Amino acid sequence: MEDKGEIVRWVKAVIDAYVKNRKVIPVPEDLSEALTGRRAGAFVSIHTVDHRLRGCIGTIEPTQSSLALELRSNAIAAATRDPRFPPIEPEELDHLTISADVLEAPERVKDMSELDPKEYGVIVKSGFRKGLLLPDLEGVETVEAQVAIAKRKAGIEEDEPVTVYRFRVTRYH
């Protein structure tokens, strides 16, 4: 059975080691099969204690050979390469909260009634542009708002047609 705290402990250890020492730590041998034996897209989100976003980077589909490596890569990127924020400094580490979202495979939506911003994340595509918004985000209450934000993130005009996909996540915090 999966230890729900294991993912957050792993991500926090990765961020701490990289921010403090610029060290990419190896995957521990005692990490569970849930992290080492499967592949999945994943997002790592970092917030301040007052709930402001401080970094968030992720992958829709797996790019690494295990979920542990996917999380490690995205954790380092969220802490140091989110273009919206300066890299996290060592003195900030004790004042941050970490969460990880592990994505299920996206499925194409035929009708907007199949969406629910509390239950599903969305991916919008138009040509080569793609935008994603995770589910159950504070302030995102409607399908229309969720899709509009995902379109904005992708640089897609509001009235431009898109292909829409939905996905579920398991959130760890």
Comparing 1 with 132, the larger pLDDT belongs to 132
Residue 63's φ and ψ, nearest 5 degrees, are: -120, -10
Residue 134's φ and ψ, nearest 5 degrees, are: -70, 160
The DSSP code for 137 is -
The DSSP code for 73 is H
Q: How does pLDDT run across 45-68, given as a tens digit for each residue?
A: 999 998 899 999 999 889 999 999
pLDDT at 51 (0 to 100): 87
pLDDT at 33 (0 to 100): 87
Instruction: Using the predicted structure, report yes or no on whether residue 119 has a pLDDT greater than 80.
Output: yes
Rounded distance, CA 8 to CA 44, Å?
9
pLDDT at 82 (0 to 100): 95
pLDDT at 62 (0 to 100): 94
Q: How does pLDDT run across 136-170, given as a tens digit for each residue?
A: 988 899 999 999 999 999 999 988 999 999 999 99
The mean pLDDT value for 90-99 works out to: 94
pLDDT at 1 (0 to 100): 41
Complete domains list, the chain, with CATH: 4-103 (3.30.700.20), 107-172 (3.30.1490.150)
The mean pLDDT value for 17-32 works out to: 94
Residue percentage of the chain with pLDDT more than 90: 84
C-beta separation of 163 from 125 below 8 A:
yes
The mean pLDDT value for 5-26 works out to: 95
